[in-house]
């Protein structure tokens, strides 16, 4: 039995560049990938420093994304690593007439760290802004599905960007490797 699992895991991970298994090939340029959230190596989600560390690890892949795509990209990455994260959306951010979105990262104690991957576009001073305008938002979306239903999938579609999608495809492969390893150990 273990031999069959190992052979299946090998075939899953080594055929066609490692992407022809259960999750399928390249997710770039399609609808919301399915599955969207992955089970990746969990972060220490109670440590606020982990938010900064994880943000820094994907920052270079998000440079070409607009404000909404960047927020969705970070939300996907955080949630896939076990963070409790949602979107905060303001229709008229800071009274400037433009809408804006940022993330709310919550810990078990209910404390919230606001994360704005597009802080420079929104007028913030850092990715973890303390500006009072970040306390005011019109809607909170629990995940990409609620956000897409409310504002349209196209606003969030970071997976259509080549650089960002590279991270998705790499992480799908990692998730599949971890899953195959767990199956082999069982």
Q: Estimate to the nearest angstrom the gap between the alpha carbon of 93 and the chain centroid.
A: 23
More confident residue, 86 or 174: 86
The contacts of residue 37 (CB under 8 Å, 6+ apart) are 76, 79, 80, 143
Give the span between the Cα atoms of 32 and 148, in whole angstroms: 9
Task: Specify the pLDDT at position 122.
Answer: 67
Residues 145, 89: Cα–Cα separation, whole Å: 14
Tokens of 131: 């500006």
Instruction: Look at the chain and count its residues.
Output: 186
For residue 2, what pLDDT is reported? 35
The structural domains of the chain, with segments of one domain joined by +, span 26-167
Question: Can you give the pLDDT at residue 97?
Answer: 93
pLDDT over 90 (residue 77): yes
With 70 as the cut, is the pLDDT of residue 51 above it?
Answer: yes
The reported pLDDT for the residue numbered 26 is: 62
State how beta strands 84-90 and 100-106 pair: antiparallel
The tens digit of pLDDT for each residue in 124-150 reads 788 999 889 999 999 999 999 999 999
The residue with tokens 């939300």 is: 75
Interval 154-167: pLDDT, tens? 999 999 998 888 88
pLDDT of residue 181: 80
Give the mean pLDDT of the chain.
83
Beta strands in 12-122 (DSSP E): 84-90, 100-106, 112-115
- The 10s digit of each residue's pLDDT in 7-35 is 333 333 333 333 233 444 566 777 898 88
Q: Are 23 and 85 in contact (CB under 8 A)?
A: no
pLDDT of residue 1: 35
- The model carries a pTM of 0.81
pLDDT over 70 percentage in the chain: 84
């Amino acid at each position: 039995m273990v031999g069959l699992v190992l052979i299946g895991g090998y075939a899953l991970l080594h055929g066609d560049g490692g992407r022809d298994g259960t999750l399928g090939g390249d997710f770039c340029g399609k609808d919301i990938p399915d599955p969207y959230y992955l089970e990746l190596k969990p972060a220490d989600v109670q440590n606020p420093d982990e938010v900064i560390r994880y943000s820094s690890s994907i920052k270079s892949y998000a440079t070409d994304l607009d404000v909404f795509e960047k927020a969705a990209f970070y939300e996907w990455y955080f949630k896939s690593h076990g963070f409790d994260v949602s979107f905060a959306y303001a229709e008229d951010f800071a009274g400037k007439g433009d809408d804006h979105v940022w993330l709310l990262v919550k810990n078990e104690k209910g404390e919230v760290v606001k994360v704005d991957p597009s802080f420079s576009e929104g007028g913030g001073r850092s990715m973890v802004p303390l500006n009072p305008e970040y306390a005011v938002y019109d809607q909170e979306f629990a995940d990409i599905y609620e956000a897409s239903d409310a504002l349209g999938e196209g606003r969030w579609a970071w997976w259509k960007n080549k650089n960002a999608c590279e991270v998705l495809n790499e992480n799908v492969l990692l998730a599949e490797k971890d899953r195959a390893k767990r199956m082999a150990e069982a």
